[in-house]
Amino acid sequence: NAGVMQNPRHLVRRRGQEARLRCSPMKGHSHVYWYRQLPEEGLKFMVYLQKENIIDESGMPKERFSAEFPKEGPSILRIQQVVRGDSAAYFCASSPWGDSGNTIYFGEGSWLTVV
Amino acid sequence: GENVEQHPSTLSVQEGDSAVIKCTYSDSASNYFPWYKQELGKGPQLIIDIRSNVGEKKDQRIAVTLNKTAKHFSLHITETQPEDSAVYFCAAGGFQKLVFGTGTRLLVSP
């Protein structure tokens, strides 16, 4: 997972605040994925993006969550009006373009705690 | 959609023993099956993967087997060492999205 950079690594927010998590993919990778991991659970797919496009957001909650991957800069996962149930580790992953049966590489994660 | 089941949820072995983790999947269209190792407080690290045109793949002490007919695949770790202790996740999918199993906590005792 070397190369996928996530920040912040740890974030504490009060209920009702906004959380912004950033992800820079590995060099040369144009596909970004976000996964959520609740304590003692597996990884749940949230969203898959390419530059300036959301390809699959079937795992994103319908409200309060959004993601983007602009032409320039990192991918952003935004959570508005956070609630305690949003407390989790959020992992970003990236893969190179056009690799069928993608090999994806994860970052070290952003741990969100809502108090 | 794809559903991946993983067993066992915990596995304790003595150093030097072998460890086997099994996964089943539901979507016959899945063609890519990676395994990840996750240590406490860190991100998942890819340790080995296999594609649907291959039945077995080995990398030193780690091997993965795939049975497409039965829709199951397994991770085999031989000569386990304490540093193999971690949570292991299997995943299945194809282009664009992976579905993960619920993880196996492996504990290797010296």
Q: Model confidence over A70-106: pLDDT tens digits?
A: 999 999 999 999 999 999 999 999 988 655 456 889 9
Q: Is A106 on the interface with B (CB under 8 A)?
A: yes
Judged by phi (left if over 0) then psi (alpha if -120 to 50, else beta), residue A78 lies in beta
Q: Give the N- to C-terminal CA distance of chain A in Å, as an integer.
A: 30
pLDDT at B2: 87
Helix, strand, or coil (residue A84): helix
How many angstroms away from the CA of B90 is the closest CA of chain A?
A: 10
Q: Which chain B residues are within 8 Å of A101, Cβ to Cβ?
A: 31-32, 51-52, 93-95
Q: With beta carbons under 8 A apart, name residues in chain B contacting A41.
A: 102-103
Question: Is the predicted pLDDT of residue B30 greater than 80, yes or no?
Answer: yes
Give the model's pLDDT for residue B23.
98
Chain A: residue whose CA lies nearest to B103: A42
Per residue in A9-60, pLDDT (tens digit) is 999 999 999 999 999 999 888 899 999 998 878 899 999 999 889 999 999 9
Q: Identify the three-state secondary structure at position B95.
A: coil
Mean pLDDT score, B25-37? 93
Residue A107 to chain B, least CA–CA distance (Å): 6
Is the Cβ–Cβ distance between B22 and B7 less than 8 Å?
A: yes
Collect all residues of chain A within an 8 Å Cβ-Cβ radius of residue B100: 35, 42-45
Please tell me the predicted confidence (pLDDT) of residue A17.
Answer: 98
Residues 37-66 of A with CB under 8 A from B: 41-45, 48, 55-56
What is the reported pLDDT for A104?
A: 87
| 3-state SS assignment for residue A21 | strand
Q: What is the pLDDT of residue A39?
A: 81
Task: Label the pairing between strands A29-37 and A88-96.
Answer: antiparallel
Residue scoring higher pLDDT (B78 or B93): B78
Contact, A14 vs A66, CB < 8 A?
no
Buried b (16+ CB within 10 A) or exposed e, B94-108: beebbbbbbbbebeb
The β-bridge relationship of strands A43-50 and A29-37 is antiparallel
User: A with B: how many residue pairs have Cβ under 8 Å apart?
Assistant: 63
The pLDDT score that the predictor gives to residue A11 is: 97
Q: Model confidence at A114, in pLDDT bands (50, 70, 90)?
A: very high
Instruction: Give A91's contacts in chain B (Cβ within 8 Å).
Output: 43-44
Q: Lowest-pLDDT range, A67-76, B57-66, B92-101?
A: B92-101
Residues in chain B whose Cβ is within 8 Å of chain A = 6, 31-32, 34, 36, 42-46, 49, 51-52, 89, 91, 93-103
pLDDT at residue B64 greater than cutoff 90 = yes
Tell me what pLDDT residue A113 has: 97
- The half-sphere exposure of A90 on its side-chain side, counting CA atoms within 13 A, is 32
Residue B52: the pLDDT is: 83
Answer whether residue B92 shows pLDDT above 90. yes
The answer, yes or no, to whether residue A65 has pLDDT greater than 80, is yes
Can you tell me the mean pLDDT for B54-80?
Answer: 95
Test mutation, A26, A34, A60, A102, chain B, max B CBs within 10 A: A102
Summarize the confidence of residues B65-87 as an average pLDDT: 96
